[in-house]
Amino acid sequence: MGVVLVTEKIAETGLQLLRDAGHEVDVRLGLSPGDLVDAVAGADAIIIRSATKVTGEVLDAGKNLAVVGRAGIGLDNVDVEHATARGVMVVNAPQSNILSAAEHTIGLMIAQARNIPQSHMALVGGSWERSKWEGVELYGKTLGIIGLGHVGALVAQRALALGMSLIAYDPYVTAERAKRMSVQLTSLEDLMAQADFVVIHLPKTKETMGLVDAELLAKAKPGIRIVNAARGGIIDEDALYEAIKSGHVGGAALDVFAEEPATSSPLLSLPNVVVTPHLGASTVEAQDKAGVTIAEQVILALAGELVPFAVNLAAGALPESARPFLPLAVSLGRFLACLHEGLPGSLEIEYQGTLAKEMGGGTSVLTLAALKGVFAAGTEEPVSYVNVSQLAEDRGLEVRETTTTATRDFVSLITLRSGEHSVAGTLSGPRTEPRIVMVDDHIVEVPPSPNMLVVRNDDRPGMIGIVGTIIGDAEVSISSMAVGPSVKGGTALMVLSTGAAVTPTTLAALRASSGILDVHQILLEG
């Protein structure tokens, strides 16, 4: 039995579960950072919400600490990497608020369609304004769902019951899965052009930040109404304000904003915008579920049993020599997903050389790491080493792994292949630094970095200059570059690391240049 330190308020039912399991529950609310370091010293587990910062210092002070439990989804306040190195499990409650979030989305959509908040305020202010606040029905309208994960799927069920037609954009969902939900998959541009209402259910990543921008809004169906109860920043709020003010967008309902509190947002001045202060998870039931779920996860972790919502992998699960390959496998998975701009149809992972020998055939942990990278950027659902296998099964991703102790050019090599793309990496030098050494069967050597570009071009003089000039004109620096010609001749591949992510305008300029065959943006963080 262990000591569980609880630093923020969670449901009493969760606390009682811990006590019933025989653990000592030490509730200390409002601890200062210094007091937290002192308090964690004798704890076997710590349960937090969003306010407590579990830093490396806190983790080091918790000599007996086995698990950190976050009663909610976000983990920005936990140093997960340091916890992993220390062998401390980190768990959360990712599904505790999905029903609440889905219901809030439907509520916002109805409120926006029928002007409920505006007419309420007019009436309590003494004005009876029936004609001013005429609304529209949802029945027969087309709902576009951007992100068809857990919350998006729940919204789809409820919208279907309201008689709406459903279309969705989600490159990580197969057409078969969407069809089972009575949803038709389409491109993002076509979704905006067809939908009467749009709801957003995406994670906040580099790829999704500012996704709904002025250019996309300009392509939208006139009168479209947009609902965002996912994450702030996915919509360019200045562009949305201008689109609503011009009349092209019929209105919006927002629960989240790029900057919160959002009391000064210009969107608040528009009469056809409905807003709430980030209430998607603010229900009695969601808070109770979060407390109960995190208590259950902590109990399992302290008992040494399988923990469904573990978000990291204890370092001890890998041989010492193989641990540095864990982040490399994640990067390779994410690299491949970016090449596909979505989910590949199949995935083959090959381990070669000393790594395969030392793993003794037990490479499944590294395969989970690669899958974690594949799914990291493209789904609203939390991605962990525990749930990626189920995600792959749900999305119809066929995964196969092979090992061989023989390798021609490298001591150890990890190669990921799909039907269309491939990428390989290794660790190099005395500091065992990661290197990308092959992309789409072109031999290259470049360290993975947060912002990269893969450019396939005609193999002729001047192509490096063309690419460098376009990127330079965009005032983006190139920190490294590797060039690999095709073994068949005729084409070459450039892999570049840039100081910042290039804009869609720069990508379009590259793709439009003579001799450029295709361009992929690779974002390995976010």
pLDDT tens per residue, range 298-312? 999 898 777 878 887
* Residue 412 structural domain: 325-523
Q: Where are the alpha helices (DSSP H) in 396-440?
A: none
* Boundary-marking domain end, from 217, 252, 275: 275
Same domain, 212 and 120: yes
- Taking only the tens place, the pLDDT of each residue in 144-171 is 999 998 899 999 999 999 999 999 999 8
Same domain, 206 and 352: no
Based on the residue annotation, tell me whether 158 is a catalytic residue of this protein: no
Same domain, 36 and 167: no
Backbone angles phi, psi at 41, to 5 degrees: -55, -35
Backbone angles phi, psi at 30, to 5 degrees: 70, 30
The active-site residue out of 260, 285, 341, 398 is 260
Helix-strand-coil split of the chain, %, nearest 5: 35, 25, 40
- Whichever domain contains 200, its CATH number is 3.40.50.720
Same domain, 425 and 490: yes
- Taking only the tens place, the pLDDT of each residue in 401-419 is 888 888 778 889 999 999 8
Mean pLDDT, to the nearest integer, of 290-296? 95
Indicate the residue type of 514. S
pTM: 0.75
CA dihedral 4, 8, 14, 15 (to 10 degrees): 50
Based on the residue annotation, tell me whether 511 is a catalytic residue of this protein: no
In which band, very low, low, confident or very high, does the pLDDT at 315 lie, cut at 50, 70 and 90?
very low
Asked if the model's pLDDT at residue 508 lies above 50, the reply is yes
Q: Is residue 512, in this structure, part of any structural domain at all?
A: yes
Q: Is residue 280, in this structure, part of any structural domain at all?
A: no
Alpha carbon distance 85, 68 (integer Å): 14
378 neighbors 320 (Cβ within 8 angstroms): no
Q: Is residue 417, in this structure, part of any structural domain at all?
A: yes
The active-site residue out of 150, 225, 231, 334 is 231
Asked if the model's pLDDT at residue 317 lies above 60, the reply is no
Same domain, 427 and 510: yes
Based on the residue annotation, tell me whether 278 is a catalytic residue of this protein: yes
The active-site residue out of 278, 334, 442, 456 is 278
Question: Of 10-19, 31-40, 292-301, 406-415, which range is least confident?
Answer: 406-415
The predicted structure's pLDDT at residue 234? 95
95 neighbors 150 (Cβ within 8 angstroms): yes
Same domain, 240 and 302: no
Same domain, 477 and 420: yes
- Taking only the tens place, the pLDDT of each residue in 437-472 is 999 999 999 999 999 999 999 999 999 999 999 999
Same domain, 215 and 303: no
Same domain, 423 and 504: yes
Same domain, 188 and 267: yes
The total number of structural domains that make up the chain: 3
CA dihedral 452, 454, 455, 461 (to 10 degrees): 80
